[in-house]
Amino acid sequence: MTTKEEIERRRTFAIISHPDAGKTTLTEKFLLYGGAINLAGSVKGKATARHAVSDWMEIEKERGISVTSSVLQFEYDGFCINILDTPGHQDFSEDTYRTLMAADSAVMVIDASKGVEPQTRKLFKVCGMRGIPIFTFINKLDRDARDTLDLLDEIEKELGIETVPMNWPIGSGKNFKGIYEREERDIVTYTDTEKGTKEGEEHRIDYADTAAVKAAIGEDFYAKMEEDIELIDMAGASFDLDMVRAGKLTPVFFGSALTNFGVEIFLKHFLKMTTTPLPRKSGDSMIDPLSDDFSAFVFKIQANMNKAHRDRIAFMRICSGKFEADKEVKHVQGKRTMRLLQPQQLMADERKILDTAYGGDIIGVFDPGLFSIGDTVCTPGKDICFEGIPTFAPEHFARVRQVDTMKRKQFVKGVDQIAKEGAIQIFRELGSGMEEIIVGVVGVLQFEVLKYRLQNEYNVEIRLEPLPYEFIRWIENKNEVDVAHLTGTSDMKKIEDLKGNPLLIWVNEWSIGMTLERNPGLKLSEFGKDW
């Protein structure tokens, strides 16, 4: 197969949702159909594993939540699929924001009984900022669901995107009969399957065969179905692939990930509609995925994925060309030529050393401490540098103190490595060195993860002292103002990040405006980058 053919069969997408909407379950059912696993909740050959495949971190297994994104690659029907499974919990949303930068489209999972929830709105907004296509799977039809038209109306009003139902549910909960496939004009009946099995019996009935349809779903459901079909055919939005790919129209599917119903139907439709790897911006140019020149960017760094390895992995999205393990690449930010060490294909924490990969793929490489999130690597001699990934403003702060001062070296190493992953942000009081460390996080559960990981991965016990600050801004024009002599407010503190960039934090939001008024010419930003 040529490089062009390999790239064109790639599909790389993220799965997003509010917690408990069924995102991880849906991910695992995709893997079942692709043959990557043979029992939900386990990697192939590890049938005793009880936790989700994509939840590989020890704290995830203990708490039953996803706290970090994971990468899963598998083959299905001639496609090579890269799934980026993201944390649903809002406290880990920054990891999701970064992961979406590596995706070409997103699958949005919505609970049929709850509709659009707060985290769904946040994640959708990030997808909207990037303009990536969104495909909606309304899940949990095996439980009592809200009215279908109300759900679609809520998606349109809350998220500001038009919907086009590709199929339509018949009942829900104990009365869930199946779905109507609009394009095929078939009824697909629902059979409750044993949990963990690959697929249940699926029966298709031509909707034109009235007697067979009535026998399958009953007179009352048939009458309601006729009414619904007439309404959506007359008043609903028409399917327009260009609108979908522009992120202005979301195709909607219905089913139950837990019982496998509607999952493969969705997967087949989705793969037809979603895009091949998309071009990426480098300066004023767009890098064509089919270019002969290799290029990639780092969107995630993870330390200690496996207790047996104790290493750092840099996750890279290949944007163009073919990666070959024996070839040298240019690390743009490091201004050096190097070989990417131990290139791996990933299945959560399972690894397979690879020799080649293509545009659209996600690979992991050993990071000896050289890479930062947003870094570009490319063919030597080429002038490619992808746009950086912004650092989002933390909303919670705490002073960190180690219990055993004799373990200072392990403490500094652990905090530094976890900070480089982007899950936490480390600050210090302006000019104070590393004696006083302040941690900033997007969600308070990240404090618990930090404490857990320092204890379990670095054998360091810490105490966290919550601070009252809630608002932070980077000083955009640090070279044009005298940071040390800025006139602030009584609730303001001057701090700096590990790269020496000055920041200001406040207890009250109104103090930000007052600080700007007192310091003409001062420019502040909500997002961090290397100014």
pLDDT digits (tens, 9 = 90+) for 237-269: 899 999 999 999 999 999 999 888 999 999 999
DSSP state, 520? Answer: T
Contact 385, 376 (CB under 8 A): yes
In a domain, 518, yes or no: yes
Domain boundary among 247, 273, 299: 273
Residues for the chain: how many in total? 531
pLDDT at 21 (0 to 100): 85
In a domain, 55, yes or no: yes
End-to-end CA distance of the chain: 44
Contact 208, 217 (CB under 8 A): no
Pairing of strands 285-287, 280-282: antiparallel
Same structural domain, 349 and 495: no
Same structural domain, 295 and 214: no
Contact 289, 317 (CB under 8 A): no
Same structural domain, 204 and 241: yes
CATH code of 207's domain: 3.40.50.300
Q: How far apart are CA 316 and CA 302, in angstroms?
A: 12
Same structural domain, 143 and 24: yes
Same structural domain, 329 and 367: yes
CATH code of 474's domain: 3.30.70.3280
pLDDT at 48 (0 to 100): 35
Average pLDDT over residues 21-37: 82
pLDDT at 413 (0 to 100): 85
In a domain, 6, yes or no: no
pLDDT at 219 (0 to 100): 94
Q: Does position 194 have pLDDT exceeding 60, yes or no?
A: no
pLDDT at 528 (0 to 100): 64
Contact 109, 83 (CB under 8 A): no
- Per the model's pLDDT, the better-predicted residue between 478 and 63 turns out to be 478
DSSP secondary structure, 94-144, as one string: HHHHHHHTT-SEEEEEEETTT-S-HHHHHHHHHHHHHT--EEEEEE-TTS-
Among the listed residues 177, 192, 478, 528, the one whose alpha carbon sits nearest the alpha carbon of residue 373? 528
Average pLDDT over residues 347-370: 84
The residue with tokens 């969600």 is 443
Same structural domain, 180 and 252: yes
pLDDT at 430 (0 to 100): 80
In a domain, 452, yes or no: yes
Q: Does position 39 have pLDDT exceeding 60, yes or no?
A: no
Domain boundary among 323, 346, 378: 378
Same structural domain, 42 and 186: yes
Helix axes 445-458, 408-420, angle to 10 degrees: 130
Least confident among 228-242, 432-446, 456-470, 513-527: 432-446
Q: How far apart are CA 233 and CA 182, in angstroms?
A: 9
Domain extent at residue 362:
280-378
In a domain, 287, yes or no: yes
Q: How far apart are CA 94 and CA 67, in angstroms?
A: 10
In a domain, 253, yes or no: yes
Q: How far apart are CA 10 and CA 16, in angstroms?
A: 20
Task: Give the three-state DSSP class for 404.
Answer: coil
Q: How far apart are CA 47 and CA 364, in angstroms?
A: 25
In a domain, 197, yes or no: yes
Contact 504, 524 (CB under 8 A): yes
Same structural domain, 409 and 498: yes
Q: How confident is the model at residue 422 (pLDDT cuts 50, 70, 90)?
A: confident
CATH code of 289's domain: 2.40.30.10
Same structural domain, 402 and 489: yes
Q: How many domains does the chain have?
A: 3
Can you give 457-512 as a three-state secondary structure string?
Answer: HHCCCEEEEEECCCEEEEECCCCCCCHHHCCCCCCEEEEEECCCCEEEEECCCHHH
Radius of gyration for the alpha carbons in the chain, expressed in angstroms and rounded: 25
Q: How far apart are CA 480 and CA 524, in angstroms?
A: 12
Does an H or E element contain 445, and which? helix 445-458
Task: Give the three-state DSSP class for 269.
Answer: helix
Counting Cα atoms < 13 Å in the Cβ hemisphere of 250 gives: 28
Same structural domain, 333 and 401: no
Q: Does position 227 have pLDDT exceeding 90, yes or no?
A: yes
Q: How far apart are CA 96 and CA 85, in angstroms?
A: 9
Same structural domain, 106 and 221: yes
CA distances 33 to 44, 60, 478, Å, are 13, 24, 53
- Per the model's pLDDT, the better-predicted residue between 467 and 19 turns out to be 467
DSSP secondary structure, 316-375, as one string: EEEEESEEETTS-EEETTTTEEEPPEEEEEEETTEEEE-SEEETT-EEEEE-SS---TT-
pLDDT at 192 (0 to 100): 63
Domain boundary among 318, 344, 378: 378
Q: Which residues of 398-416 are buried (b: 16+ CB within 10 A; e: fewer)?
A: bebebeeeebeebbbebbe
In a domain, 385, yes or no: no
Q: How far apart are CA 264 and CA 253, in angstroms?
A: 11
Structure tokens at 231: 């309404």
Q: How far apart are CA 102 and CA 319, in angstroms?
A: 9
DSSP state, 386? Answer: B
Same structural domain, 107 and 148: yes
